[in-house]
Structure 1
């Protein structure tokens, strides 16, 4: 089975690959209905990690000064499944900010170990396990454990090396050295495996996190670098480091700048006073539904608008049903947006009615996007109209006409929305393509997500 991971368009500067996240077939104890909960919890980016990491990242944090659209904070409806908000903030005594490169994914460089070794990682709100590449390699340089005084391996006797941990669904085994070993087999047969380890991340020259549990990959895609897993799981990076909030601002690509620079915050974002917030839908720790990822950032989506017209889609298509289908999540590790069938068909009907014969027949890009066109993208965008994803409390993510289509190569442009059901996914996923030119803040203490309009290319 496969789950959407990060899709990316094919341009002369892009790496040809599949536009999906792949759910790993996990050994030795695969879980039935894996696509339901654990696939979202452990979505590792596969081919996207290839040569994207050869890009150099700016290491020095920069100050921010740019305009945002100011809107009052509104109240949103609480789900009956929501947990009580903690009144105490986890101990994270300072703010960390860094730039990242946006190349169909958010690629950040983090200093890991003592002394620090810079490692490039994909920022992924859709997965839990963070891992780095420990295989010996010079370009790009992999992490060398022998050079770090704070590095340690987890033995098989460590409590984490037990598959009974409810929100850590990565099965583990003991290797021949009695060390805790994990294995991911991707849908295309690619293997990512290694040992679980403890290591520090240096967030400033004088401050580091405590030793965190990471994966130290010994085998993976040839040029893969790593994942920064930051979902709501207790072993994600933000949970282990007790970070109260994090945020990012994804810039738009252009013909002049193919891999623009965005900004990433851990801790307080000075622009948050302008953000509009929606409460996350959270679920009791013991609640399990076959098609639900309880660790995802699940949002109360209510509808989709084109122009002034709200499409005739029931709000129930965007909320988990009794089996968890219909969950809507914010995922930085998926490029395009994907909708369940009930919502997708209505969107496609609107697009087909708006553009008429311009819609390419019998054309599907990478098995996912089938609302595609030849010809003038500006004119087609004008015909389709401005789009918005609507949430509780009258909060919207507005998508301008110039951001409706993505160029996928050969003069073909596609609406950046795919069908979830065709890929075996029972969820709505708002990918990073539709998060561009927004501050997106994940407030882990108050269990909410905030959005603030910004020119992200000018945020650094």
Structure 2
């Protein structure tokens, strides 16, 4: 009997200690109660999830623990409660859900050496995967070029964000079923290629020649510089020579593929070949013949890949060979490979310019996506290029901020080309205040452009920062990597001019996640720690 009593006391003490830990973890959501969200269903296009709140008073739990007369019966209850807390809801989480994260401040020496850390795609057999690099990092195949200053990066980023928001200026945002007039869509794409940061190397033609291309989820038409080109910018690789490829074929003006170019169409050449044009907001442009050829993505081949063969350009000054469009429009690589690889792709953006990620085509379905948390993908028939999601809440240090759900009603899009995440000002103000409250150990610093929540990290080799998690519809909780919270010495978020402006999830917040765009199934997924 004594041994049995000691066994019960020992196990009840362990249960009490673990329970107190859970109580402390969840008390931040309410000063006195634990909040347990109920099951949240995932709908295909628009999800209205309501969490049922179960309140368990920590005082009543403590009283129960002190009742020795019910010691025997309380143990199963405690264990059941602990099990329920550890499996508290089907809400999925990507990333560490702790209250604080440690961010290494790096050093010039390590930032100049390409890291050999291995990126691990989740894709199953049949998918095509290629390495992905930051254009200015030591892993880049391009010649070393000076990294732009933070001021330059933020200036270009602001112009790109404004461009995307203008596209959705017809009202309603990306959060619901909205109809937008084509008249609201500008013909210029962002500012220039300088707004894009990540690139891949592919093979084009037969035999294949290497082409280093920037990737962009905000573009549909892909293009490379081609011979002959009297007005082309200098690039690292030789110009693509159509005459040297046995599988190259230009489209005729009367073809259906030429007709689907829409506003990127540019009439006919003297030989009745289809012409394209893409104009950027800074006045730079590319024009040439819309064509097809074999594309090599790693060990996979995409036959009859459609792209612009650029013969005339103006305003470009980088070393890249062209651009790979990953948008949702008919001309994008994603749409072109729908029949062979499925309408899905994923990428992982590395945490620093000195490390590598990957781009995968055909990353949908099967056991390969079991590690993702997923949220419904929202689309606009009038602006099909962009992939929308519904942001519902934000957590800082494990505590959900008090932000009315209506604040996010303008909608949100994912974008690989935007750097800083844009939030409604009401949401950003709450995020900034909560983050600063958890950073009192570091002196404040002067703002850097649009980044106004900055800190003095002088002399620090690493810093401890509050965790930040984005909560999306369908129960997807994405706890950001430390590299996705701070840029330089500032909180890597900015507020829009008003709550009615479209939100944008930028590439800083996407770092280290494998971000899945499963267009066929209508979901966006996140898998933590992929690169």
**Matched position secondary structure for 1:374:** coil
Cα pair distance change 1:172/1:426, threshold 3 Å: farther
How far apart, in 2, do the equivalents of 1:414 and 1:10 lie?
Answer: 21
Runs of 5+ in structure 1 lacking a partner?
1-6, 50-103, 320-325, 408-412
Among candidates 414, 420, 439, match of residue 336 of structure 1? 420
Cα pair distance change 1:170/1:38, threshold 3 Å: farther
Q: Is the aligned partner of 1:225 residue 2:324? A: no
- Conserved? CA contact 2:200–2:213, under 8 Å: yes
Q: Deviations over 1:211-261 (max 9, x none)?
A: 1321222315132422211122122111112132222222212xxxx4312
Cα pair distance change 1:402/1:128, threshold 3 Å: closer
What is the TM-score with the length of structure 2 in the denominator? 0.59
Among candidates 400, 417, 425, match of residue 493 of structure 2? 417
User: Deviation of residue 341 (structure 1)?
Assistant: 2.9
Cα pair distance change 1:127/1:234, threshold 3 Å: same
Cα pair distance change 1:272/1:128, threshold 3 Å: same
Cα pair distance change 1:187/1:250, threshold 3 Å: closer
How far apart, in 1, do the equivalents of 2:317 and 2:146 lie?
Answer: 19
Q: 2:518 corresponds to which residue? A: 443
Q: 1:247 corresponds to which residue? A: 346
Cα pair distance change 1:199/1:401, threshold 3 Å: closer
- Conserved? CA contact 1:41–1:231, under 8 Å: no
Length, aligned pairs only: 361
The CA RMSD over aligned residues, in Å, is 4.0
Q: 2:147 corresponds to which residue? A: 14
Runs of 5+ in structure 2 lacking a partner?
1-133, 139-144, 171-180
How far apart, in 2, do the equivalents of 1:416 and 1:155 lie?
Answer: 47
- Conserved? CA contact 2:377–2:522, under 8 Å: yes
Q: 1:47 corresponds to which residue? A: 194
How far apart, in 1, do the equivalents of 2:401 and 2:360 lie?
Answer: 35
**Quick check: which one's helix share is greater?**
2
- Conserved? CA contact 1:40–1:296, under 8 Å: no
How far apart, in 1, do the equivalents of 2:162 and 2:479 lie?
Answer: 36
How far apart, in 1, do the equivalents of 2:277 and 2:162 lie?
Answer: 9
What is the TM-score with the length of structure 1 in the denominator? 0.67
The correspondence of residues 19-418 of structure 1 with structure 2, limited to 5 A, is 19=154, 20=156, 38=185, 46-48=193-195, 104-105=197-198, 107-134=199-226, 135=229, 139-162=236-259, 165=260, 168-175=262-269, 178-203=272-297, 208-218=301-311, 219-220=313-314, 221-223=316-318, 224-242=320-338, 243-244=341-342, 245-253=344-352, 258-268=353-363, 271-283=368-380, 285=381, 288=382, 293-319=383-409, 326-355=410-439, 358-361=443-446, 363-365=447-449, 368-376=450-458, 382=464, 385-401=466-482, 403-407=484-488, 413-418=489-494
Cα pair distance change 1:425/1:129, threshold 3 Å: farther
Q: Deviations over 1:303-328 (max 9, x none)?
A: 11111322232333334xxxxxx221
Among candidates 480, 484, 504, match of residue 429 of structure 1? 504
How far apart, in 2, do the equivalents of 1:138 and 1:238 lie?
Answer: 25
Q: Which has the larger radius of gyration?
A: 2
Cα pair distance change 1:184/1:340, threshold 3 Å: farther
Q: Deviations over 1:254-311 (max 9, x none)?
A: xxxx43121222224764222222121234x4xx4xxxx3431111211111113222
